[in-house]
Amino acid sequence: MEWQAPDLAVKMVQKVYAENVLHIRHDVWDVHTNVNRWWVITEPMNLYSQDQFPNMDLALTFHVGLCLRIPRNDRQKLSALPIEPFAECYRYMQEASDALAQAQEINDYQSIGVRCREALLTFSNAAQTALPWTADQEPPKKADLKAWADHICSVALAGASHEHRRHLFKTLLESAWKFTNWLTHAKASHWHDAEAAVSSTENAIGLCTSAVIQHIRGVPEQCPACGSQRLSPQRGFHKDDPEIEWERPTCDKCGWTGKPVPITDVAESAEESDRSPPDSECVLPTVPLMRLQRPGDAV
C-alpha cells in the first residue's frame, strides 16, 4: 500500500475476509489511511478505493473477474510457473481454452478436441520422462495413454492411503482421453461438448500434474516436524552452481525445510522471449469505470 500510494500514511490494516475461487485464495484487507480507506485484495495483489467500491463483495467480485480476464500477454509466463516439465501441455490447454471462446461450428469443436488430445499426450510424454518405466516387461507405446495413466498414477500415488485418489486421477485421464478422441471425429457435436472437453482435460491434467510434481520434488503430505499441511515451495540458487535453480518444500507454520531438488528448465518460445515484460503496477478503476487511475493521480 505504501509502495503504490506513498503520499498516504497507513494508520491501520486488518484482514477482514478470505475466499478460495478456482483454487486461488484471495485475502481481503481493510486499510485505513490518513485520507481514506482502501480494499487490498491478494493473488494477484491489487487495491481498490472504498469510495469507489463501498461494498467488499463488489470489490472482490470485480477483482476475481479482472483476474480471469487479464489479457494473455499480461499473464505470467509458463516458464515462470512451477510446472516444469509440463509447460508444453499447458500451452495446448491455453490454445484450446482460447479457441473455445470463438468456437461456433462443428469443425471448431473438432479442432478443440485435437488440442485437448495433444495436451493429454504431451502430459503423458512429460510424465514418462519424470517417471520412467521400471517394470521388467516391455514398456507400452508412448501414445498408449491408458497404460501410461495407470503407471503414472501408480507411481505418483503409491500406497494404500492413495487408493481412492489413484483411482480418481486415472479415471479422469482415461475419461478425458476417450471423450476428446470422440469429439475430434464427431459430426454432431455442440459447443457444450467442446466446453466439456476443455474442462475435463484441464481438470485431469491439473490434478495429475500436481501429483507428479509433488512426487518428484519430494513434497510430503504434511510437515514431518509439526504435522501441518501448510507447505509451500521455496526456490533459489546455490552460489557454487548459479546456473541451476533448486526447489524445496517449506512449512509455513514451523519453518521446516525439505531436501532441495533441481528444477528442469523450460525453453521459452520465440514469441514469449521477444515479448516485453508487462506493467505490474496496480491500477484503480474509477466510477463509472471509464478509465483506469493509479493512486496519486488527479481525480
| pLDDT tens digits for range 173-204 | 999 999 999 999 999 999 999 999 999 999 99
Count other Cβ atoms within 10 Å, centred on residue 80. Answer: 12
Model confidence at 291: pLDDT above 50: yes
What does pLDDT average to over the chain? 82
Per-residue pLDDT band for 77 (boundaries 50, 70, 90) equals very low
Say how far apart CA 267 and CA 131 lie, in whole Å: 20
Answering whether pTM is above 0.75, one says no
pLDDT in tens, 129-160: 888 888 778 888 988 999 999 999 999 999 99
pLDDT value of residue 4: 82
pLDDT of 242 reads: 78
H-type alpha helices, the chain: 56-68, 87-102, 106-130, 145-156, 163-185, 191-216, 270-274
Q: Are 40 and 47 in contact (CB under 8 A)?
A: yes
Give residue-wise pLDDT tens across range 228-262: 988 888 888 877 777 788 888 899 889 898 888 88
Residue 31, beta-bridge partner list: 13, 38
C-alpha cell at 112: 478443440
* Rounded Cα–Cα distance for residues 182 and 193 (Å): 10
For residue 271, is pLDDT > 70? no
pLDDT band at 85 (very low <50, low <70, confident <90, very high): low
**HSE toward the beta carbon, residue 192, CA cutoff 13 A:** 0
Task: Tell me the helices (H) and strands (E) count for the chain, helix number first.
Answer: 7, 9
